[in-house]
Structure 1
Amino acid sequence: MIELVNIRKSFGEKVVLQDVSATMQAGKTNLIIGSSGSGKTVLMKCMVGLVKPDSGKILYNGKDFTAMNDKDKKDIRQEIGMLFQGSALFDSMTVEENVLFPLDMFSVGSYKEKRKRVAECLDRVNLSDAAKKFPAEISGGMKKRVGIARAIVLNPKYLFCDEPNSGLDPQTSLVIDKLISELTKEYNITTVINTHDMNTVMESGDHIVYMYQGLKQWEGSNKEIIFAKDEKLNDFIFASDFLRDAKEMRQMEMFQDRDWRNKMKKDGNEPKS
């Protein structure tokens, strides 16, 4: 897992992160949500080492990433897969060559072994037929899946996804959400997703951190978020009448589950009739 301990980051006089502490759980889909300017992107950049926090610790399985030398940081980074918002594929390379790129950079296997691994990853994201195509010849959703295949080709322990559903239609977004969730559980990856997509929050949020003005405002699961009483969180998640109605319907559906109902009563979160 990844532990964040009192992370603080400023740019000049502007404080972006204020003593943020949270845990990204292993084998779970961890989401960082919040409005623009809340600090969620900077928080993710701190976790992957693109931005150095002013103070605090980032622990990968108990090892302090912020205090590591360059060699040790490189070792951790080789265990990280990254899915970029715009997919960030090389236009001059085929789909197959894009997925092969990290293997050429960081692995010492034979070319035959690398090609086999690429084929396995493309098959896992249902893109075997697109191996010889160039990025300009495939759809936005397919590019995202190529990005996922490239992110997992080195068998990472950690997967970071920056707005994976950006620019996609709702149906394709569901496919990407499901694929990321399946891979997270299948390979026991610690997955961290920076997202604005409320469907991702409600369907894939095993663990959610809500950021507000540089602070961790709320932390919990997608089930707990339905009954959360934090006013700022509810204003952000359930902003429209439609979403508020959907929230009430989901509350009543979940309340039919006896175990969950007993837990809600114990916590004092029983929905009003």
Structure 2
Amino acid sequence: MIELRDITKSFGDKEILKGVSAVMESGKVNLIIGSSGSGKTVMMKCIVGLMEVGSGKILYDKQDFTAMDHHAKKIVRQKIGMLFQGSALFDSMTVEQNVMFPLEMFGDGTLRDKKKRVAECLERVQLKDAAKKFPAEISGGMKKRVGIARAIVLNPKYLFCDEPNSGLDPQTSLLIDKLIKELTVEYDITTVINTHDMNTVMESGDHIVYMYQGQKQWEGSNKDIVFSKDQKLNDFIFASEFLREAKEMRQLDMFKDNAWKEQLQAQLKRDEKK
């Protein structure tokens, strides 16, 4: 679990994060969404330690990451896997060598053990036959899967994904979403995704934080979002007429579920109190 407690971040006189508090839950896909300039990218960079917060705390499993020294932070970072927006593969290395890279930097064991682990990860993302290929020889979706294999090769407790579906066609995007979701549940990872992709929001969003002008505007699940009355959130998520109609259809389908009716009533009561 990762917990943010009232974190702030400014660049000069410009305040980017304005007292954000949230919890990223283990075994779930946690999404950070929001329009450009909302602060979501800065928030992710603060969580992984690429930027220091101005004030507040970031806790990894109840340990204050913001108060740690360099050595302690390094230990935490070794438990983090990162999937970059552009995959960030080394062009001069094969797929196998790219996935091997974190093991060469931080892993223990023999070369044989490392190669075995690489093979396991490539098989898990269905790229076993691409091990000897170079990044220029594979598709964009395959590069993303190589990036995922590299991100999980050290058995991370935390997985961060920056726009994992950027530049991919809809069908490939669905496959990447499904793979990340499966790995999150399978290894009980705390997964945090920074995304603009509405399919990811509606299909994979176990827990969603919507950022608006540097503040947490809304928080809930992909089921909660369908019935949310937050106007700013609705304007962002259901911007087109097609998506608004899709929302209404999803509401009708979900309302047939008696168990969900009870959850909806509880959510509406919480919204009224806010």
Which residue matches 2:272?
Answer: none
CA distance in 1, matches of 2:266, 2:145: 42
Q: Deviations over 1:15-49 (max 9, x none)?
A: 00000000000110000000000000000000000
Query: Counterpart in 2 of 1:15?
Result: 15
Q: In the TM superposition, what is the alpha-carbon distance from 1:264 to its structure 2 partner?
A: 1.8
| Corresponding position of 1:197 | 197
TM-score by length of 2: 0.97
- Is 1:45 the counterpart of 2:45 in the alignment? yes
Give me the TM-score of the superposition, normalised by structure 1: 0.98
Distance 1:267 1:32, change over 3 A: closer
Q: Which residue of 2 aligns with 1:207?
A: 207
Indicate conservation of the 8 Å contact 2:85/2:162, yes or no: yes
* Paired position in structure 1 for 2:138: 138
CA shift digits 1:56-102 (9 cap, x unpaired): 00000000000000000000000000000000000000000000000
| Secondary structure at the counterpart of residue 86 of structure 2 | coil
Give ranges in structure 2 of 5+ residues lacking alignment: 270-274
C-alpha distance after superposition, 1:190-232 (max 9, x if no partner) = 0000000000000000000000000000000000000011000
| Secondary structure in 2 matching 1:165 | coil
Superposition RMSD in Å: 0.7
CA offset digits 1:129-153 (Å, max 9, x no partner): 0000000000000000000000000
Partner of 2:149: 149
Unaligned runs of 5+ in 1: none
Q: Which residue of 1 aligns with 2:229?
A: 229
SS in 2 for 1:223: helix
- Which residue of 1 is the match for residue 90 of structure 2? 90
> 2:224, 2:267 within 8 Å by CA — same for their partners in 1?
no
Report SS of the residue matched to 2:265: helix
Identical pairs, percent = 75
Q: Which residue of 1 aligns with 2:121?
A: 121
Say whether the 8 Å CA contact 2:201–2:222 is kept in structure 1: yes
The alpha carbon displacement at 1:262 in A equals 2.3
Aligned length: 269
Match of 1:165 in 2: 165
- For 1:96-115, list aligned pairs within 5 A: 96-115=96-115
Cα deviation for residue 261 of structure 1 reads: 1.1
Counterpart contact for 2:224–2:264, Cα < 8 Å? no
Give the Å deviation of 1:107. Answer: 1.0
Equivalent residue number for residue 68 of structure 1? 68
Q: What is the aligned partner in structure 2 of residue 175 from structure 1?
A: 175
